[in-house]
Amino acid sequence: MTKIKVGVAGYGVIGQRLADGVALQEDMELIGVADVAPTLSIQALFEKGMPYDLYTADPGKKHLLTDAGIPVSGTLEELIGKVDIMLDSSPGGIGAKNKEIYVKNNVKAVFQGGEKNEVADIFFHGYANYEKGIGADYLKLTSCNTTGLIRTIDAIDREFGVEKVAMTIIRRVADPGDYHRGLTNALMVDKAPSHQAVDLMTIMPHINATGILVHTPVTHGHIITPIVSTKNKISKDDLLEMFRKHPRIRVVKLADGFLGNASLFKYARDLGNPRGDMYEVAVWEESIVKSGDDIMFAINIPQESVVIPESIDAIRAAMKMQMTREEGTEATNRYLGMKA
């Protein structure tokens, strides 16, 4: 089997997790990663002994890396020359600039949520519209909140038909170790509707979605509370059964000690998952309530790692590795060690 050759541009919070995720896929080969400066993540890569080759994303600033003693294997363009597809997790806006090099080199790319939709031909989610990504050249992933949310909404939609979603997004304001985006003793309200609702409607145009987003001063996971109106009647047990068998949804219980977003982070650390990451979103069993015919529940979104599986799905679709969502997502899940 020829392995699909993959490069990663931007070795930050998302990029290093993309690299790790790709490295686990037995039908893919991670050729290298690209970044500009010796950030903590790059310093850690170096201390680990450079398990991934590093390319400079800005040849004019190669000295930033070499001065810090970090070995550089070449330039971003050289990396691009060696791969079939790039995962671009550069800071917002840089991906659009990188795209020019991808196009010039005739290399496909998957962008992250920080880029504008125009950067890509397809706004992609592994479960909701895998087929649209098949053979596409440029795909953009949904953002972390939307990726996790759509897993649940898509699952409900396929079995019960979703007509409407109104949600509250209780957003973690920064990742652990991020000193630049803090918030102290305040809840901050965004202009409604939130972009996550708009994005959901772009991916799933038959659904009417809206939502209010509130930023909170925590770092371990967003919590979303959607209220979902379905075409066919749905019970709490229906929802539980459906979510329990979903490979990327984990049903947890307050009664078991999963008291909030920090419990899931703690649990993933105790599991020994690298970085304390978790690919699954979680739904609290005791949060599920009916509101008339509608159903409401609380989802935990592990913002640092949740988009990794769907990003890998995007490679599978773009490279025509699997031609159906079932086969594509199943392969990703298997190599990531998630439940079948």
Strands 138-141 and 294-296: unpaired
In the numeric block, the tokens 């490979």 are attached to 247
Q: Of 16 and 129, which CB lies nearer to its own copies in the complex structure?
A: 16
Residue 84's SS3 state is coil
Among the options 22, 45, 144, 281, which is catalytic?
Answer: 144
Q: Site for its own copies (CB under 8 A): which residue of 229, 305, 311, 333?
A: 229
Under the criterion CB under 8 A, does residue 290 sit at the interface with its own copies?
Answer: yes
Of the residues 132, 195, 275, 334, which one makes contact with its own copies according to CB under 8 A = 275
Q: Does 91 bind its own copies (CB under 8 A)?
A: no
With beta carbons less than 8 A apart as the criterion, state whether 225 and 170 touch. Answer: yes
- Count of residues that interact with its own copies, criterion CB under 8 A: 83
Answer yes or no: 144 catalytic: yes
Among 102, 160, 258, 335, contact with its own copies (rule: CB under 8 A):
258
With b for 16 or more beta-carbon neighbours within 10 A and e for fewer, the 93-122 pattern comes to ebbbebbebbeeeebbbbbbbbbeeebbeb
- Give the interface segment with its own copies, choosing from 94-102, 118-126, 287-295, 317-325 (CB under 8 A): 287-295
Structure tokens, 154: 């898509």
Structural contact between residues 149 and 299, judged by C-beta atoms closer than 8 angstroms: yes
Looking at 95, 126, 276, 328, which residue binds its own copies (CB under 8 A)?
276
- Of the pair 136, 153, the CB lying nearest its own copies is at 153
Residue 225: CB partners within 8 Å, gap ≥ 6? 167, 168, 170, 287, 296, 297, 298, 299
Q: In terms of C-beta distances under 8 Å and separation of at least 24 residues, what long-range contacts does 115-120 make, across chains too?
A: 115/88, 115/140, 117/202, 119/95
Residue 198 interacting with its own copies (CB under 8 A): no
Query: 27 vs 175, which CB is nearer to its own copies?
Result: 175
Nearer of residues 103 and 192 to its own copies, judged by Cβ: 192
Here the tokens at position 3 are: 């392995």
For its own copies, the binding residue among 1, 48, 60, 206 (CB under 8 A) is 48
* Catalytic residue set: 144
